[in-house]
Amino acid sequence: MMQSNIYYNSHNDYLEHWERHERHNFLAQRLLNIIIQANWNKRVICNPNFHLMINDLEIHKNRFGRYMAIVDTIAKEMQQLNINYDKQRINKIQTILTKIQNYEN
């Protein structure tokens, strides 16, 4: 009886770790997608032949505001998972997104 109880606990621990690891991978992929989208937007905006209209400028700022909110949410969840969480990396991503949002190259 004792051995089956030990197996059950270790198996549950394994499943919990696996679920945390899978969730971390999903969040890391979302973070990567946001970075790819931000880089694409930066390439388009920094093109000397490209000029934003007032409406486009507002859409751009709102888009990057959403990106930063998503990064905040991802950072909070990654911190709770506590698997490869790097606060400096998240802060650097936020800084880069803010610079792109404000057209600082």
Say whether pLDDT at 4 is over 60.
no
Q: Assign 68 a pLDDT band (cuts: 50, 70, 90).
A: very high
- Residue 101: per-residue pLDDT: 82
Long-range Cβ pairs for the range 36-42 (8 Å, 24+): 37/67, 38/64, 38/67, 38/96, 38/97, 38/100, 41/100, 42/100
Say whether pLDDT at 8 is over 70.
no
- Residue 2: per-residue pLDDT: 45
Structural domain harbouring 43 = 2-101
Name the residue with higher pLDDT: 27 or 54: 27
Q: How many domains would you assign to the chain?
A: 1
Q: Assign 72 a pLDDT band (cuts: 50, 70, 90).
A: very high
Q: Average model confidence (pLDDT) for the chain?
A: 83
